[in-house]
Amino acid sequence: MYAAATAPTGPAPGPPAPDGRPHTVGFDQYSLLIDGKRVVLWSGEVHPFRLPSPSLWRDVLQKMRAHGYNAVSIYVSWNYHSPAPGSYDFTGVRDLDLFLRIAAETGLYVILRPGPYINAEVDAGGFPGWLTATEGTARTSDPTYLSYVDEWLTAVDRIAARHLFTRGDGTIVLYQVENEYADHVTSPLGRDYMAHLYAKVRADGIDVPLFHNDKGRNGHWAPGTFDTGGETGRWLYGFDGYPSPSAPPPDWGYFGVGGVKGGSTASPRTPGFVPEFGGGWFDPWGGAEFDGKGYAESRRTRDAAYERRFYLTNLANGIKLHNVYMTFGGTSWGWLPAPIVYTSYDYGAALDEARQPTAKLVPMHQLGHLLQSVPELAKLDRADDVTIDEAGGEGGADLGIKGIEGIKAYHLVNPDTKAHFHVLRNDTSDDRRVSLHLDSETSVTVPVPGLDARLIATGIALGRRRLRYSSAQPMLWLTAGRQDIAVFTGRPGDPTETLLECASKPKVTVLEGTARYAYTDGALRVDAEPGAAARVLVEGGGATAPLLLLFADDEASARLWRYDTPSGSVLVRGPALLRTATVRGTTVHLAGDTVKDADLEVWAPRGVSDVVWNRRTVRTRATASGSLRAVRRLPGAPKVTLPALTGWRRQAENPESAADFDDSAWRTADRTSSYSTTPVPTGGPVLFSDDYGFHYGDVWYRGRFEGGSVADTVSFSYVTGTQGLLMAWLDGKPLGTHRMPVPDKKTVRKGTWSATATFPVEVRETTDAGPHVLAVLVRRMQHDEDGKANDSHKAGRGLSSVTFNGASPEVSWRIQGEAAPDPVRGPLNNGGLYGERNGWHLPGFADGRWPAADFPRSERRQGVTWYRTGFRLTVDPEVDASIGLTLTDDDPARAYRVQIFLNGWNMGQYINDVGPQHTFVLPNGVLNTRGPNTLALAVLSDGTTSSGPGKVELTLLGRAAGGVPVTLVDSPGRRN
């Protein structure tokens, strides 16, 4: 008979709240200890800077909490907040304080990761543009660099210190310094740097545990490897993991090489911690990573089954702090993306870029709720291997075989309660039925689908009863009102057996669905098939309260919402989302979303008799399940209609290319030295744009020279990120366009993109004495990341040199990039196109004199053309419509690119002949869903083909009745 466990542990601590009281955040080798209680951190990564609409932060965070996450991890990107040294801006869409407040109000712990270096596929890995033009080596103990770092950390920490869970003012429980710092690990350059960061953050009053995310489980920056001011107990070790989804999940802990010591933690005294574990992956320009199929493919290769297989393997290996990178990827809008990626940072995450839930949320939901309601999971040791065999096949047990081909079995035990957990993982693509021998007398059959995994528990508490074992995966238990409720999950139609310890024979009622039951041997056995509605009520049998058992399939489980309120737990079944639940008197007030018509059933704390859904009273009746069930279904979301985009006006620009353009106000390019890592050509002036204070987007050069000798070609050497281009004119006539090659999977990571563009010219001594004017436009793309700590973000951007064949005239250069940073939209919103410098992208710009235009366009021209129109939306305020802008062209070879400005906000870049992105998410708040909007497209065309745009349309990416109230983001119509 399977051995019974000891007394149950209490329920896991509820969600955190900023309650004004002091708290402690500690840890031991098993888990975090928050106020002395074990908490498994089940966190998702979100980047506030990739969602420039603060109202929507609440939407994403509420969705995360509802789906079982108890924490959110965020990077703070230095470049997003700092247009210039000494200037730090945390207002508007950059309001970190607001984000932290919303996270606390939502009941999520926060892991704060402010760098100073973050990588994250953002420009320069998060370093500000201006830092690329400063002395000293970044990511080392170089004093100049450290002086800037201190400025940044002072600014962030001032805000962070107001939101520490320890002080009861917020929910920050952990704080990361630096990011995957794998170089200078043993040198003073690195160790002094890390020691400096540690001391600085502590001096700024951050008193929660600090940590670093090792790039792989190398033991780098484990406690004791560098100077933490004598504080050994407040530094955690963590390592990042992005394993290949097509290989079996690695054992990075209890079951790996090295066992517990140097195992999950590479640091035996701290708990297993993965600050980043791949929840998807990014896609480079051209879609090289996913064969041009984009993020749908990222989501397919790391699907829901991947999550179960990999994350359950992590849990089995002792990981107790788990952060999924990304959980909501969002948008690298403006000039935020590192050159390697395009605008969408959807990442194939569980919540897509348009904030829509995907099937990947289901395993997160099941595991997240499990970890929060089963405290036994927070303290696990590896237990003896168990015997498994193919159910219905050869008797592996009899043969003494401990494993079967392609199935991996992990066995863990809670040393205090003796609850046991088994993870069965199927590394084959066939569906398997595994017979798991719990002891010499007891075995259960567990169906494990191909490339999937299941968790089986024995001996855990289920409210006031105890589970002997179940072949179904437990999802949660809670106490609602006078009864306990436990939920188990499985595939529809799969038979399951569940045994509950019962001192005497209980009363059993099958309330819905089919189930068989029997009482033998001190246990009630219930056989049921998970589905939409299998429920069994167990009363008596030695326990003081009834227990309702629900057996749910994936779909049904994702419609079960647990919400813990100060008055007790609430369980809601039916709607597409439960955002909040509040008990006031005899009423439970629920807020959430429906997409289709939905049931509403509520298990509420004692004394609750009335239900309000989204501020409307719902008529309910009491059920035999102890719930209140709405008499009528909740209505789904109404239809949303979007207008066609018409009334376009068009205006060509690039006056800078004309011979007689007045550039007298431009900066003279006369510097002779640079901190760039790209060498300055001997004798020539520095032409890198960063050295002249121009850091983002396009940059113009004009060079004047006298004729005098014969030249037959002119060559421009230039440096950009991937997808950079250069176009040139001589005396107002186009010389041509040169583009960096489209990278493939191998070349995309090669770093700096530099090339020489050579164009034929005809400058003749006799006729063309001059003066002549070269005009050059460089689309620089962005600065490289600095992942190897070798200052690669300081690679030059823009022109590096210009030479003539057959002549060497003296050229005097002037340069013009972006205007002063937009104080509202931030430093990364604009580059240096004429239209951008003159506000053509802004809603208030008077385009009334521009001629009308229709799409599709077909015109061959080297340079920049703008299109503007307005449109009005009338979305019902109680509907959350997620809307995108889709650009398509019948001819995918046409060489042009489009920057999309919505109400002045740069929502991204479309490259027609590179892709793969066609739809650009327009976040509500930037998008006015109940009023006028202005759309401006800046089209840069190579002149080698005719140019579009082809079709430009609004697309509905999702709709729900409910949503969060959205405040419009400030979108000034003019430049100040």
Q: Which residue out of 180, 376, 501, 818 is catalytically annotated?
A: 180
Let me know how long the chain is. 976
120 vs 680 by CB, closer to ligand GAL: 120
184 vs 650 by CB, closer to ligand GAL: 184
The whole-angstrom separation of Cα 523 and Cα 732 is: 90
The whole-angstrom separation of Cα 974 and Cα 972 is: 6
Tell me how far, at minimum, the Cβ of 863 lies from ligand GAL, in Å.
35
Tell me how far, at minimum, the Cβ of 228 lies from ligand GAL, in Å.
21
Label each residue of 250-268 as H, E or C.
CCCCCCCCCCCCCCCCCCC
Tokens of 972: 């000034």
Tell me how far, at minimum, the Cβ of 115 lies from ligand GAL, in Å.
10
Tell me how far, at minimum, the Cβ of 81 lies from ligand GAL, in Å.
17
| Pick from 785, 128, 677: nearest CA to 688 | 677
R_g (Cα) of the chain, nearest Å: 30
Tell me how far, at minimum, the Cβ of 241 lies from ligand GAL, in Å.
10
Tell me how far, at minimum, the Cβ of 506 lies from ligand GAL, in Å.
51
68 vs 125 by CB, closer to ligand GAL: 125
| Pick from 694, 705, 735: nearest CA to 811 | 705
The whole-angstrom separation of Cα 964 and Cα 929 is: 13
Tell me how far, at minimum, the Cβ of 48 lies from ligand GAL, in Å.
15
142 vs 283 by CB, closer to ligand GAL: 283
The whole-angstrom separation of Cα 187 and Cα 142 is: 13
Tell me how far, at minimum, the Cβ of 218 lies from ligand GAL, in Å.
13
Angle ∠(531,534,539) on CA atoms, nearest 5: 155
- Asked if residue 623 lies in contact with residue 611, where contact means CB atoms within 8 angstroms, the answer is no
Cβ neighbours of residue 662 closer than 8 Å, sequence gap 6 or more: none
Tell me how far, at minimum, the Cβ of 119 lies from ligand GAL, in Å.
3
The whole-angstrom separation of Cα 407 and Cα 170 is: 44
Tell me how far, at minimum, the Cβ of 329 lies from ligand GAL, in Å.
9
Angle ∠(412,418,424) on CA atoms, nearest 5: 30
DSSP state for residue 59 in the 8-state scheme: H
180 vs 564 by CB, closer to ligand GAL: 180
The whole-angstrom separation of Cα 793 and Cα 808 is: 32
165 vs 282 by CB, closer to ligand GAL: 282
The whole-angstrom separation of Cα 247 and Cα 266 is: 23
Cβ neighbours of residue 679 closer than 8 Å, sequence gap 6 or more: none
The whole-angstrom separation of Cα 513 and Cα 534 is: 4
Tokens of 560: 């079960």
Which contiguous run of DSSP H or E holds residue 314? helix 304-316
Q: Which residue out of 45, 121, 178, 276 is catalytically annotated?
A: 276
| Pick from 627, 611, 630, 588: nearest CA to 480 | 627
Tell me how far, at minimum, the Cβ of 240 lies from ligand GAL, in Å.
6
Q: How far is CA 801 from the centre of its chain?
A: 39
118 vs 500 by CB, closer to ligand GAL: 118
The whole-angstrom separation of Cα 610 and Cα 631 is: 12
115 vs 839 by CB, closer to ligand GAL: 115
276 vs 376 by CB, closer to ligand GAL: 276
Catalytic residue status for 297: no
Contact footprint for ligand GAL (CB under 6 A): 118-121, 179-180, 240, 276, 282
| Pick from 76, 74, 97, 113: nearest CA to 18 | 97
Instruction: Give the nearest residue (CB) to ligand GAL.
Output: 119
Catalytic residue status for 276: yes
Label each residue of 561-590 as H, E or C.
EEEEECCEEEEEECCCEEEEEEEECCEEEE
282 vs 845 by CB, closer to ligand GAL: 282
- Asked if residue 73 lies in contact with residue 179, where contact means CB atoms within 8 angstroms, the answer is no
DSSP state for residue 637 in the 8-state scheme: P
| Pick from 247, 245, 249, 225: nearest CA to 235 | 225
- Asked if residue 16 lies in contact with residue 103, where contact means CB atoms within 8 angstroms, the answer is no
349 vs 480 by CB, closer to ligand GAL: 349
CA distances from residue 772 to 282, 735, 834 in whole angstroms, order as listed = 45, 13, 22
| Pick from 419, 406, 551: nearest CA to 485 | 551
Q: Could you list the active site residues?
A: 180, 276
